[in-house]
Structure 1
Amino acid sequence: MRLKPLKPRMYNAIFHAHTVSGIVISFALYVIFFAGAISLFMNELYRWENPEARFESINPEIVDYDQITSIVQQQVEGFDITSQFGMMPPTKTNPLMLFYGTIKHSDGKKERFSTYINPTTHEITPPNKPKTHMAHTLYELHYFGQIPIVGGYLSGLVAFFFIFAIITGLLIHWKNMVSKFYSFTSKGKWKQIWTNSHISLGFITLPFQLIYAVTGALLCLSIFLLAPSAFLMFGGDTSQVLKAVNPEAGYRHDQNAKTLHDYTSLNSIYAKVKAANPETDITYLYTTNYTKEDGTISVRTDDRIGIAGDGLFIYSGQDGRLLQSVDPEEKTYTSAAFRVLVKLHYANFGGPLMKIIYFFLSMVTCYVIISGVMIWQTARDNDRYTAKQKKFHHRITKFYLAITLSMFPALALIFLANISVPMDMPNRAELINTIFFLGWLLLTILGLFWNEYRQLNRNFILIGCILGLLVPIANGVFTGDWLWKTLLSGQYYVYAVDAIWLIIGLFGILIYKKYLSKQSSKVIA
């Protein structure tokens, strides 16, 4: 069937809606995709990020979870065992255990805390004072977590408008999308090059972008979506909605319940779940109202391959009875929907290959965003606009490019800061974050002094590549783990990070020398 074009009036309205929505969210969307692409490998980065975690992971089945809980009780002042606490068993990517809990202060106020625990030596880092936070900083950046209270909502709104931009882009290009895909060329006027590449690459990454836009909007704006659902289906009872998507929410716990002297062992629950699901990993073990007669122990599992391969098992803390289970093979739609959204968003399925695919698609999306900005700019670089208007358009474009393109050298900077700042320095994580964000700001300001887009792009690539080449060198100097040593000793995650930075640095400098170092009288990127 031949596609029919939109009527001129409708086309113009949708075209302008697509342009305005895209320009408004472009730099924020770029930050989300760029930071999100790196944070996909948050777990894989941890051994490189924390030199103290560069030891062989132990089998999580031999960890004494009851003893870990007792040690936390002894060493963390005010630890409230009856409030929800939990732990993530050690993995191949991270040999340390992550423990979450609650501290009850003398005035009755409660504070959530997290800490890393060595499962072999039982050494505990000070609560809420991690020695390193690099990957988490990038992860938080991808949903603007550094902005208090409203950051997540802002990223959700960006995702929502991204859905709008995708739909309007599809409507205005659907007539010639296929023909432009096959006729793409790097020759001709820059406006045509930007337009063809924007359409072609946007067409290729369309399903991926739509998945990220929808899941991002749902995850960040879920509170606004659950409220109408509660009124429409459950008479305003939001707890019923939460129970539908999260079975744990259906259990009520009484803080005044009777305290037990003999309660179910965490080790026994872990062993029971593992015996019933030998092919899956236990990803999270946590309890609510532990040591009370109505306490529960919950276990999350995941095969890390299937998109619906995760499960949940809830046991009674009093006698170890299985109260409820969400078996991966017998899930209902409501119990599976939310976790599927999470897996789709974070690529927690399909193994490492899926994360690599997501990463490259995210980088292509970053280019699509930048090319959209350049289309907007080149379309306004003509005699229809006054000199004042052209100057305004130029400043907006330069501002957007300075923010986005400076993320590459800023990324290399946070890696260098993380490996060079001593591990025993007080407030180390805060210092590294300050170096990253201040460095990003200074690089952005520096970019505003470069008037040609080619110069701006060229300089940021050169700075980023030089800093990137220093990353494996800095790792060798400060930790002694040189590239060849990590390869020979089997520290493949550490080796991979250094090798990738080395490849990026060398490849980027080759691009700089061959293509970007050429002078041009045109204002191009």
Structure 2
Amino acid sequence: MKIRSDILRIYQSLHTWVGIGAGMLLFIGFFAGALTMFKQPLDRWGSAPAQMLRPVAADKLDTLVREVLVAHPAARKGFTLHLSQHENVAAPVSWSAGAGGRELDVAGKRWQATLDASGKLQAQQQLPSLLAELIDMLHRTGGIPGTLDGEYLGGYLMGVAAIMYFLALVSGVILLLPTMIKDFFALRPGKNRKRFWLDAHNVLGIASLPFHIVISLTVVVFAFHDQFYDSLAKVVYREQPMFAPPPPPAAKPYAAVDMLPATTLIKKVQDVAPDFVITEMLFMRLESPRPMIRAAVASPRHLTHGAEAGYVMVHPYSGVVDTNMLPGKEGTWSGRVSPFFALHFGSFAGNTMRWVYFLFGISGAFLFYTGNLLWVEKRRKNQGRNPAPLSQTRATMLMAAATVGICLGSVAAVGFTIVAGKWFYASSGNINSTYMSVYYSVFLAAVAWAFWRGAARASVHLLLLCALAALAIPLTSLAAVLLPSLGLWAHGSAASVGVDVVALLCALLFLYGARRTAQRVAHGPADSVWSVEAASAQPAGAGARGQEV
């Protein structure tokens, strides 16, 4: 297929500039998003055993729920009955006395309760670790703080970046159409490093194109869902309700003492979802005119609305079941929306698909990183056409430093944040605030280091920092086993050990990357931005001669 050269130049310019404009923000989103595929293992790895209360037998759940509602009236506003027991599930029942909302409350404490060995209610208040939720927030916002109309500002910016990302995908495909068959799987290592990076960039982009299209479109929907819903309500639905109307309220508020037994409600969910595992049941507004229970049900065989589960709604007093959000039994609207959620979250086909999405997420981050590297090398090639001696422009040097600092800095910062949960648990008054402090301290320090030392030197240093951050994860678990006096802990479950193993493999990859980068810095072309010689020879006024960047 032959495309005119002027059209290719337009799409090349579009692909380059929208990629540069959104690349670094999307790198953070994709890297953190890859980690969210295993939120539960991360939570299990970092959950302190000191917070855990003993589980209770299934035949004791009715007694536990009844005593919690009598002894703690705040639980009547909402509590969660946890039916799956893991290291990150502190107790069979938990609830919060604070107000809910879309924003994470890093200082919000939760009550948790169980029955002790003698059958008496045991309740305590704890500050839960929000490590996995904070990484998910990083995935959704790119780490940009602040809110706008009750939503994270970074979420809106990520939506804008996703629009640019989709344009980059379309323009990139058009650019590759003339040579797609011949060069699709071509990887040409050798002295021409730019050619190799371009081949790797193209292979990853085309091979994962359906995944990237799905992610780009769903991110736009997630970022601007309120605006979409408002527009649909005004333009399409008008006077008709967009969603199914809720059941009519009772003549007067309900009383929690009249609620059906918990085991009866569990049985009702099991009857309508026999192929699913009930992980938890969220009891909401129990003494209001519209009480409701949202039961989370998991199955690897179905596309689910949530990141890990589908939902069954149950009325806690009448026992009426609503399967509008149960996979396979959804209503018209939910049946159309659920696949978008499932395709974005990878919440189907079990751990196999989670690993696939994890690898796609990491490769997507690599795609944005290599895109910026190719832009930097393109500047050098363009400069080589000028008669003046080669000297990197200031904008090129700054872009290279920003790419290294932001991308590698976010990776190192996440690694040290994960480790901080164990090392600072005992001494920190608020472990979630410590997570935030560690992440932004490491991230901003890495960015500052990249601009101070230059992209060439900083790339080696920050890759070693990433290796150290990843290696610290299994070393922390090893220290917990060998030196119990440190107050650390190491869970022996497959999920927790898996975190250590993956982190160790990542550390080895970062070490290999640092070694190869050091060779490039020492022996690569002297006029490259990745050369120490070029960075040292950079004059104070470089880039002011009108070079186009």
TM-score relative to the length of structure 2: 0.80
Q: Does 1:212 align with 2:240?
A: no
Q: Does 1:167 align with 2:170?
A: yes
What does residue range 380-419 of structure 1 map to in structure 2 within 5 Å? 380-381=379-380, 382-383=383-384, 390-419=393-422
Q: Which SS does the other structure have where 1:264 is aligned?
A: coil
- Offset at residue 123 of structure 1 (A): 5.9
The separation in 2 between residues aligned to 1:63 and 1:444, in whole angstroms, is 54
Contact 2:256–2:286 (CA under 8 A) maintained in structure 1: no
Aligned to 1:135: 132
- Offset at residue 251 of structure 1 (A): 3.5
Q: CA 1:231/1:421 → structure 2, altered by over 3 Å: closer, same or farther?
A: same
The separation in 2 between residues aligned to 1:24 and 1:279, in whole angstroms, is 46
Aligned to 2:88: 94
How many residues align? The count is 500
- Offset at residue 31 of structure 1 (A): 0.6
Aligned to 2:470: 468
Aligned residues: percent identity? 16
- Which amino acid is 1:498 matched to? D
Q: Match for 2:7 among 5, 10, 29?
A: 10
1:326-378 deviation digits (Å, cap 9, x = unpaired): 55333344222333222222222211121111111111111111111122111
Q: CA 1:432/1:72 → structure 2, altered by over 3 Å: closer, same or farther?
A: farther
Aligned to 1:32: 29
The separation in 2 between residues aligned to 1:195 and 1:242, in whole angstroms, is 47
- Offset at residue 441 of structure 1 (A): 0.9
Q: CA 1:452/1:437 → structure 2, altered by over 3 Å: closer, same or farther?
A: closer
Aligned to 1:156: 159
What does residue range 111-510 of structure 1 map to in structure 2 within 5 Å? 115=110, 117=112, 119=114, 126=125, 129-130=127-128, 132-144=129-141, 146-149=145-148, 150-235=153-238, 240-243=241-244, 250-251=246-247, 253=249, 257=253, 259=255, 262-292=258-288, 294-308=290-304, 311-322=310-321, 326-381=325-380, 382-383=383-384, 390-423=393-426, 425-453=428-456, 455-478=457-480, 490-510=492-512
- Which amino acid is 2:201 matched to? H
Contact 1:25–1:158 (CA under 8 A) maintained in structure 2: yes
- Which amino acid is 1:341 matched to? F
Q: CA 1:392/1:80 → structure 2, altered by over 3 Å: closer, same or farther?
A: same
- Offset at residue 203 of structure 1 (A): 0.8
Q: CA 1:524/1:37 → structure 2, altered by over 3 Å: closer, same or farther?
A: farther
Q: Which SS does the other structure have where 1:449 is aligned?
A: helix
Q: CA 1:341/1:60 → structure 2, altered by over 3 Å: closer, same or farther?
A: farther
Contact 1:60–1:89 (CA under 8 A) maintained in structure 2: no
Contact 1:134–1:433 (CA under 8 A) maintained in structure 2: no
Report runs of 4+ in structure 1 exceeding 6 Å deviation.
53-57, 385-389
Q: Match for 2:71 among 44, 49, 74?
A: 74
Q: CA 1:104/1:179 → structure 2, altered by over 3 Å: closer, same or farther?
A: closer
1:412-467 deviation digits (Å, cap 9, x = unpaired): 211232221133631222123202211111122112233353x3332222222233
The separation in 2 between residues aligned to 1:342 and 1:175, in whole angstroms, is 34
Q: CA 1:60/1:153 → structure 2, altered by over 3 Å: closer, same or farther?
A: farther
- Offset at residue 73 of structure 1 (A): 6.3
- Which amino acid is 1:458 matched to? V
The separation in 1 between residues aligned to 2:226 and 2:282, in whole angstroms, is 24
Q: CA 1:446/1:452 → structure 2, altered by over 3 Å: closer, same or farther?
A: closer
The separation in 1 between residues aligned to 2:21 and 2:62, in whole angstroms, is 49
Contact 1:80–1:104 (CA under 8 A) maintained in structure 2: no
Q: Which SS does the other structure have where 1:285 is aligned?
A: strand
Q: Which SS does the other structure have where 1:117 is aligned?
A: strand
Q: CA 1:316/1:508 → structure 2, altered by over 3 Å: closer, same or farther?
A: closer
1:484-512 deviation digits (Å, cap 9, x = unpaired): xx9x9852222222222233324433554
Aligned to 2:540: none
- Cα RMSD after superposing both structures: 3.6
Q: CA 1:157/1:350 → structure 2, altered by over 3 Å: closer, same or farther?
A: same
- Which amino acid is 2:20 matched to? I
The separation in 2 between residues aligned to 1:85 and 1:119, in whole angstroms, is 13
- Offset at residue 269 of structure 1 (A): 0.6
Contact 1:308–1:336 (CA under 8 A) maintained in structure 2: no
Q: Which SS does the other structure have where 1:241 is aligned?
A: coil
Q: Which SS does the other structure have where 1:44 is aligned?
A: helix
The separation in 2 between residues aligned to 1:57 and 1:503, in whole angstroms, is 35
- Offset at residue 20 of structure 1 (A): 1.3
Contact 1:287–1:297 (CA under 8 A) maintained in structure 2: yes
Contact 2:302–2:328 (CA under 8 A) maintained in structure 1: no
Aligned to 1:108: none
Q: Match for 1:52 among 49, 53, 75?
A: 49
Q: Which SS does the other structure have where 2:496 is aligned?
A: helix
Unaligned runs of 5+ in 2: 101-106, 531-549
The separation in 1 between residues aligned to 2:249 and 2:319, in whole angstroms, is 16
Contact 2:44–2:496 (CA under 8 A) maintained in structure 1: yes
The separation in 2 between residues aligned to 1:101 and 1:329, in whole angstroms, is 33
- Offset at residue 24 of structure 1 (A): 0.6
Q: CA 1:164/1:252 → structure 2, altered by over 3 Å: closer, same or farther?
A: farther
Contact 2:284–2:291 (CA under 8 A) maintained in structure 1: yes
The separation in 1 between residues aligned to 2:281 and 2:236, in whole angstroms, is 32
TM-score relative to the length of structure 1: 0.83
| Segment of structure 1 superposing worse, 178-187 or 350-359 | 178-187
- Offset at residue 222 of structure 1 (A): 0.9
The separation in 2 between residues aligned to 1:123 and 1:140, in whole angstroms, is 33
The separation in 1 between residues aligned to 2:25 and 2:224, in whole angstroms, is 17
- Offset at residue 192 of structure 1 (A): 2.1
Q: Which SS does the other structure have where 2:147 is aligned?
A: coil
